[in-house]
Structure 1
């Protein structure tokens, strides 16, 4: 009778990557927001449509075209991107903070998942919520706005890249926050200002010179500008800078999240 030897200490029986565990974590995070989709998907879409209605009905007819693009068609991609990034951030940050407050973060940390697998499972769920909210918002706008498709690669790259960026930033925010006031402060004093001052509602070329230069240091500007370029074909900034920024910032955020999961900072206390 032969006995199967136990794995060496520190080894894992399912190979280098725990695909099943990572997939299960991803599904858990997706189902968490999908079960309350009225709050997590429908509500953001309605809010964005209200923005569109206000600008289209009250202001749009008085605004000239922006670089040959009708104002409402210029505005719509910015609103879609705003919806995506806000919800990608909200998904990961709220999930981690609620788990910490309720004390069930141990259910995430105890399974045999490496920091990389935790990072992938949680971050991709945030990306999924961002893309779902963006897609539903775009479909809801179609009866009212002529949404074009100028550059498919840019639309897909900036939609996915922006959702991943804010999903990772949400992980950092959720790990750092110890109560809802902390997370709300990040939303109110970081996410919203960066979003509202990024060219979502206007062309940055219309700004005074000093404000235009400041905007070019805002990473969210490049997310919105790149996505708008994919829809309308117009960009206020350099697309190649936007592509490099998305890749670079995502790499930095990915490493930062990985380090926090590995050390257990504010997770294992």
Structure 2
């Protein structure tokens, strides 16, 4: 019988099969209820666009040299993406903790990095699909074609990773759905609304502009806006660096908590 050296898993340094299986589970989880996870966000974004078009429309004038509805579309797209990426990991992990089947994820031969990757893959997949669906809708009804698709994709992915990891942080910390809802309602939603989704931060007082520049949500929204319509409040390179750093820090925190089993094994 072949023996395995100490410190080396029988699956190798990376359990590719296990990582793929977990990623596939997290992806199938939201695809099985696509009417709630993909179609519903698309309808919500469309309703926002209709409401703003009726309530404000052409009376708002141009923002940063483009019509208001054109300016608004990338903000709504990004807000929808980050909220769905957060919801994918937070709901999955919280459900596993509440129902007591988190052991099914912790017991298989998966490292903390592989578990983190599996959950984040589902968040990125859901965020990217939602972004694609809204982009098609914006093109059909507003005629907006992404100016820099690669920039847009990069910020959608980075934003999904950041929010997916933040969802895992919230789910690990929360012991019930009420606590998770509190984090979502009083942290995620306000930050996504107050990060340049509906306005340019140039219209804000200096103090609030400084606060916005310390908010990773702002750079994610601003980066997607640059990729979609070619205008932004800040340099896309600066935004990518700050958003990537924020995502890396939150992912590192998730990895550490999974490694020590913080609020997962007790």
TM-score when normalising by structure 2: 0.96
Secondary structure class of the residue paired with 1:142: helix
Q: Which residue is equivalent to 1:92?
A: 89
Deviates further, 144-153 or 168-177: 144-153
Residue 170 of structure 2 is aligned to residue 154 of structure 1:
no
Q: Which residue is equivalent to 2:185?
A: 188
Alignment RMSD, CA only? 1.2
Given the alignment, which residue of 28, 33, 42 partners 2:39?
A: 42
Contact kept, 8 Å, 1:119 with 1:257, in 2: the verdict is yes
Q: Which residue is equivalent to 1:18?
A: 15
Contact kept, 8 Å, 2:91 with 2:171, in 1: the verdict is yes
Consecutive unaligned residues in structure 1, runs of 5 or more: none
Contact kept, 8 Å, 2:123 with 2:161, in 1: the verdict is yes
C-alpha displacement at 1:244, in angstroms?
A: 1.0
Q: Which residue is equivalent to 2:71?
A: 74
Q: Which residue is equivalent to 1:218?
A: 215
TM-score when normalising by structure 1: 0.95
C-alpha displacement at 1:230, in angstroms?
A: 0.7
Q: Aligned partners of 2:147, 2:33: CA distance in 1, in Å? A: 34
Q: Which residue is equivalent to 2:138?
A: 141
Q: Aligned partners of 2:251, 2:190: CA distance in 1, in Å? A: 23
Q: Which residue is equivalent to 2:53?
A: 56
1:71-101 CA-partner distances (Å, limit 9, x unpaired): 1111000111111100000000110000000
Q: Which residue is equivalent to 2:167?
A: 170
Secondary structure class of the residue paired with 2:63: coil
Secondary structure class of the residue paired with 1:143: helix
1:167-212 CA-partner distances (Å, limit 9, x unpaired): 1111111111101111111111111111110110111111222222
C-alpha displacement at 1:10, in angstroms?
A: 4.6
C-alpha displacement at 1:5, in angstroms?
A: 2.8
Residue correspondences, number: 266
Q: Aligned partners of 1:174, 1:148: CA distance in 2, in Å? A: 36
C-alpha displacement at 1:109, in angstroms?
A: 0.7
C-alpha displacement at 1:111, in angstroms?
A: 0.7
Contact kept, 8 Å, 2:152 with 2:227, in 1: the verdict is yes
Q: Aligned partners of 1:150, 1:35: CA distance in 2, in Å? A: 33
Q: Which residue is equivalent to 1:204?
A: 201
Secondary structure class of the residue paired with 2:142: coil
C-alpha displacement at 1:58, in angstroms?
A: 2.0
Consecutive unaligned residues in structure 2, runs of 5 or more: none
Q: Aligned partners of 2:137, 2:17: CA distance in 1, in Å? A: 35
